[in-house]
Amino acid sequence: MFKRLSGPATNLWKPKNFYSIEYLKYLHGVLYKNKVVNDNNKDLIIEALRLLAEVLVWGDQNETAIFDFFLERQMHQHFISIMQQKCDVLVHIQLLQTLNIIFENLKNESALYFLLSNNNVNTVIQHTFYFANEDIMAYFISFLKTLSLKLNSKTVHFFFNEV
């Protein structure tokens, strides 16, 4: 059913139908089983995040069940968990790139609202990334620009932090 993806550092499998809920479930399993990022699994996590963005964008635009699974399983919590770990800069770069791709390409308003809710995006915005790295800085700025394009009268309240 699955065939190995090409690439020297990846242990991921590619299904016959890449854009499917089955493959999203597989990617969820990869992130779930690799909660702690280390030198042994960082390439696997980077590739899983990259592929996850592709599947989610396709699912948002073509198969709502794919994005529904992502939301039901609260897979964005894996992003927050990865972000909060001290790990290779490349993992954080891919995480920011994945988030940017997802937010930039989301068409479904309810999916956007769900991702913006529960302070998840605010947690990313407030996180202290290693900004001495120019790539992290660039991807973070790109993420902020993408979010700014999603601001409107319906989404702005997600960015308020009442004290």
Per residue in 85-123, pLDDT (tens digit) is: 999 999 999 999 999 999 999 998 888 988 898 888 989
Which burial class, exposed, middle or buried, applies to 100 when counting CB atoms under 10 A from its CB (0-12, 13-18, 19+)? buried
Domain map (residue ranges) of the chain: 2-159
Rounded to the nearest 10 degrees, the angle between the axes of helix 89-105 and helix 134-150 is 20
Res 11: pLDDT: 57
Separation between Cα atoms, residue 93 and residue 151, nearest integer Å:
24
Tokens 């954080």 correspond to 92
Separation between Cα atoms, residue 84 and residue 89, nearest integer Å:
12
pLDDT-flagged residues of the chain (< 70): 1-11, 13, 161-163
